[in-house]
Chain A
Amino acid sequence: MDLSALNPVAIAVSLIVAATPLVFAAIGELVVEKSGVLNLGVEGMMIVGAIAGFAGANVTGSTTFGVLCALLAGAALSGVFAFMTQVLMSNQVATGLALTLFGLGLAAMLGQPYSGIPAPDFPRVWLPVLSDLPVVGRLLFSHDWLVYVSLLLAGTTAWVLTRTRAGLVLRAVGENHDAAHAIGYKVVLIRTGAILFGGACAGVGGAYLSLVASPLWVEGMTAGRGWIALAIVVFASWKPWRAVLGAYIFGGVTIAQLNLQALGVAIESQYLSMTPYLVTIVVLVIISADKRRARMNAPACLGRPFFAAG
């Protein structure tokens, strides 16, 4: 085995690229779940975001426009979910599963004309001096701008949830929707807003896959990352920074196993491919082993439909 072929800086950079889509999707879903809604359609919203972003960028040549398309497409798909579960009172689990199936099918159909063409180049941040620094420059100051947005998003979400009134109301709605309604908060409206936010985040996460990580459109390219994002939210005990950690562990192991495969380690590639999923879940299970505290953080109304009485 020739370890000298490995470049630690390159590995770290690709780790971040693998983790960022999950950061977007998980933070979005975290906000949705904090409001008391369980949307299992993350995978579907991600893949629709991936094709919308790819198509938008290819047609106009602007990746920024592509990301905007993905954001709107994810939000639009989640809007369907919001209408069904919040207005028509459909079952959240069934609707979320249907959303995933629908999203995968829709993306495959829309993606027909786009397979096999490359995406436009995604611009990278370049700061004078800083980006030219050895090691540090590549590690910290020369990613694409979505990486910084994802971390900013996590930080802002953590701050809003714990430090602002808007976050308090959101948590209250997820905690006890009947009480929130009795005090006079508009439960359905607040939840709809959270669902749309979650959809937009998942859409951007999907676009990151097709515009930065791959950058290609391949049918089914999300490959279960939406489900990993859902698992990350639960095992991160609904804490944004832990969700980021979970996403980075997943990214890290993904890259590690790819490198091991490239080095020709004598393990079946299928086993290596499953390690990121296994390791992410195992690590987060260990973090959240303190059941009392994990339950304390879980929104008490998660997945329960709200009927306004009177």
Chain B
Amino acid sequence: MTALLSIRGLWKRFPGVIANADVSFDIQPGEIHALLGENGAGKSTLVKMIYGVMRPDEGEMLWQGRPYAPHAPGEARDTGVGLVFQHFSLFEALTVGENVALGLPAEQAGRDLPDRIRKVSAEYGLPLDPDRQVGELSVGERQRVEIVRCLLQSPRLLIMDEPTSVLTPQEVETLFLTLRKLRDEGVAILYISHKLEEIRALCTAATVLRGGKVVGACDPRQETARGLAEMMIGRELAAPGAPAGTGGETRLELDDLTVISEAQFGVSLRSISLELKAGEVLGIAGVAGNGQDELTAALSGETRVAPGMIRLEGQPIGHLGPTRRRRLGLNVAPEERLGHAAAPEMSLTDNTFVSARTRLKLSLKGLLKLGAARGYARRIVEDFDVRTPGVGAAAGSLSGGNLQKYVIGREMLQRPEVLVISQPTWGVDAGAAQAIRQAIRDLAQEGCAVLVISQDLDELMEISNRFAVIAGGRLSAPRPAGETSIEEIGLLMGGGAHAAA
């Protein structure tokens, strides 16, 4: 059988990095082929070359045995390659129909397009209304727009880049049904994900990349998730420790926290009440865009609320700004590492001032204590194994995982009473994620109250003692993590917070 797409010895070099080194593998028609690898393993570069966004330096690709070297995405699409982007390439102010039209050649985007969108979306179980504005859609619905846009061009190869990282478990099930239906119709799917259980459930072949090289190929159905992970990172994973105990005194109290969002596409928080105790990790799950950003901002003090809505050890702090809250012991590590948690152009030393200035007294009467700051930055780098040439390096030059370790370390080493972390391991490779989760557990063990907001359910199940779901700006009642099934959480994430709580 001729492979649909055959990749032969592809090389791609960037200044200082080899992104792909002699990568070769075949994708057969009607196969769901997993592409596995840590962040920075070269998956995205490879996808960009297949989709014609980049050209390889060396090597060739064969499409059904014939040379294939796309110069532009349009050429790749004409050949029969469709790509569903990891970060959606959608236009929020335009309608579903307009968004789809933009991804199609002009002759396919005629007046009958809305009808064709309805037909294809119904056929594959992806209901969509072509007239709705994308900005109003949920993340799952947005992904449907991307998929339908690809399907309308009848692709032979569909590339899915991390498609489930933003979906509820139910949405993932629906997506898998669609993908299996496509596979049965003979479409090949290149499936990129770091969720190993999903790959084992869905894929029939896998290629593992590490440091730009192919380090293994296997049938994921025959492997354990642990085995796949070790193949991916090239060493053995430490077993996760047991979650910390509970039963300390109440540290943080949210009482009917309500914030009406004025931003476009923002989510209003609606009477959120919560008690966070010393020594526990409370996980907040939810699909992106359900109020997580607004909740983080209300907790950090970037959004001010009525004093009594937030209490820290009994003291009302809702009206205080971030600096005064930090002084009292409430620290927040926001989701956005660059630009929010750290200033990209400034050094790691300078970035300690972002949050540690008051609590660690890094300035005296308006003068900066650079020596103390440098010492603190060094401690973070050592304690949290941040890989960097030195504390003088710009924050923006660190990889995502290393910068995340730095940001979380900077907050943790201030010994806060309460630590709020949003998306602790988003876009972080498996090894660093493991280290960050361990640090969270250790901190709770030492008596800190930790609130983790994440979209990664497996992660929350692993590290939290109690567990709540945020949907549409409402928070479900927290319950012990061990007593909640993934299905129940999925229902809550879909918006049934009140029915189930």
Binding site for B on A (CB under 8 A): 165, 168-169, 171-172, 175-176, 178-180, 182-185, 292, 295-297, 300, 310
Contact = CB atoms under 8 A, between A and B. Distances in A.
B264 A175 contact: no
B89 A182 contact: yes
A305 to B, nearest CB: 16
Nearest to A182: B89
A180 B88 CA distance: 11
Given A172-B91, A183-B102, 14 more contacts: A169-B102, A171-B93, A172-B98, A176-B90, A178-B89, A179-B89, A179-B90, A180-B89, A180-B91, A183-B103, A184-B72, A185-B102, A300-B92, A310-B54
B339 to A, nearest CB: 14
Nearest to B89: A179
A182 B73 contact: yes
B106 interface: yes
A169 B104 CA distance: 12
Chain B, interface size category, equals 20 to 34
B102 A176 contact: no
> Chain A interface mostly helix, strand, loop or mixed?
helix
A179 B72 contact: no
Which among A176, A183, A185 has the greatest number of chain B C-beta atoms within 10 A?
Answer: A183
A296 B91 CA distance: 12
Nearest to B264: A295
B293 to A, nearest CB: 17
B73 A165 contact: no
A62 B498 CA distance: 76
A98 to B, nearest CB: 25
Closest 5 CB pairs of A and B: A179-B89, A184-B73, A182-B89, A175-B91, A184-B74
A175 B94 contact: yes
Given A182-B89, A310-B53, A172 B94 contact: yes
A178 to B, nearest CB: 7
Contacts of A172: 91, 94, 98, 102
A171 B106 CA distance: 16
Contacts of A300: 92-93
B264 A296 contact: yes
15 contacts: A169-B102, A171-B91, A176-B91, A179-B88, A180-B91, A182-B53, A183-B73, A183-B89, A184-B52, A184-B72, A184-B77, A292-B264, A296-B93, A297-B93, A310-B48
B85 A182 contact: yes
B457 interface: no
Contacts of A185: 102
Interface in B57-86: 72-74, 77, 85
B91 A179 contact: yes
A164 B106 CA distance: 10
Contacts of B94: 168, 171-172, 175
B101 interface: yes
A165 B109 contact: yes
B90 A168 contact: no
A90 B102 CA distance: 29
Interface in B96-115: 98, 101-103, 106, 109
Nearest to B74: A184
A171 B48 CA distance: 25
Contacts of A184: 52, 72-74, 77
Contacts of B53: 182, 310
Contacts of B264: 292, 295-296
A296 B98 CA distance: 16
A231 B109 CA distance: 35
Nearest to A179: B89
A5 to B, nearest CB: 51
B92 A175 contact: yes
Given A176-B89, A178-B89, A168 B74 contact: no
Contacts of A168: 94, 98, 101-102
A176 B72 CA distance: 19
A288 to B, nearest CB: 15
A165 to B, nearest CB: 6
A295 B133 CA distance: 14
